[in-house]
Amino acid sequence: MYVNMLVYGQPGVGKTTFAAKSPNPLILDFESGTMSVRNMDVSIATPRSLEDIQKVIKKAQKSGFETLVIDSTTEMSRHFMNQVMGEMTRKDPRKSLFSPTLEAWGMVTEMMRFVTRVARDAEMHTVFVALETMEKSEKSDKVFAKPSLTPKVGEDMTAYVDIVGRLTMAKKERVLLLDPSSEYIAKDRSGLLPDTVSGDDLSFQHIIDLIVGSDDFVEELEDDEETQADTPESDD
């Protein structure tokens, strides 16, 4: 059984280090932000196209890697947009590289969905890293924290994974928030995790240790996979 997680937070809060503390990890680096793990036993790949990502993930499974880290999905999305708009402007010079079209947004959304599914379905644990953004609630004047992704991609990614956690600072200590709140997005499908994780336990390895081996969670995953197989995906 493999655990899939989305962790998000502000720059410098320790997302990459959290993800790298995992079984035999391979980091797909899209933002050149791996300096924090330079002294850790991790491998790093820098794919730059959809085809490269597929090849790296397939090779990673055959090479014995146990954890896949995509760092970050926010930057990967921007990279895809640059690729799409670059191709569009080459075909039509009247278009601006800095003014994405609806068609471009649609293409990037599908590219992100594809990578998310491929990574999630790989025979490895997976961590999707994302930056954090603050958004105003439609029901009140309050703002809440969420992954910095487009609405469709963010909704899809949070639905695809088992765990969503917000990594933040509280009283000068890094804390992973896992209990859903009106102030931030979080999710624990396993029902086995504490509301918060901090200190020496702040690692993806610890999350895996708490979940793997639970018979109840294995049965829930199998039931959910059967349901997804019987439900057609939306074209939105």
8 Å CB contact between 105 and 3: no
In angstroms, the CA 147 to CA 89 distance is: 29
Lowest pLDDT segment from 57-61, 69-73, 187-191, 219-223: 219-223
- Residue 34 — pLDDT band, cuts 50, 70, 90? confident
Return the pLDDT at 92: 87
Q: Residue 231: pLDDT above 80?
A: no
Domain-by-domain residue ranges, the chain? 4-230
Lowest pLDDT segment from 105-114, 164-173, 209-218: 209-218
Domain 4-230, architecture per CATH: 3-Layer(aba) Sandwich (3.40)
Q: How do residues 43-54 score in pLDDT, each as one tens digit?
A: 999 998 899 999
In angstroms, the CA 99 to CA 124 distance is: 37
Q: How do residues 127-169 score in pLDDT, each as one tens digit?
A: 999 999 999 877 777 899 999 999 999 999 999 999 999 999 9
* Residue written as token pair 């025979």: 123
Q: On the CB side of 33, how many CA atoms lie within 13 Å of its CA?
A: 23
Alpha helices in 70-101 (DSSP H): 73-91
Backbone φ and ψ for 126, nearest 5 degrees, come out as -135, 135
Which candidate, 83, 228, 207, places its Cα nearest to that of 160? 228
Q: Residue 90: pLDDT above 70?
A: yes
8 Å CB contact between 70 and 30: yes
The percentage of the chain sitting over the pLDDT mark of 70, rounded to a whole number, equals 89
* Residue written as token pair 């640059």: 82
Return the pLDDT at 102: 92
Pair of tokens at residue 15: 């997302």
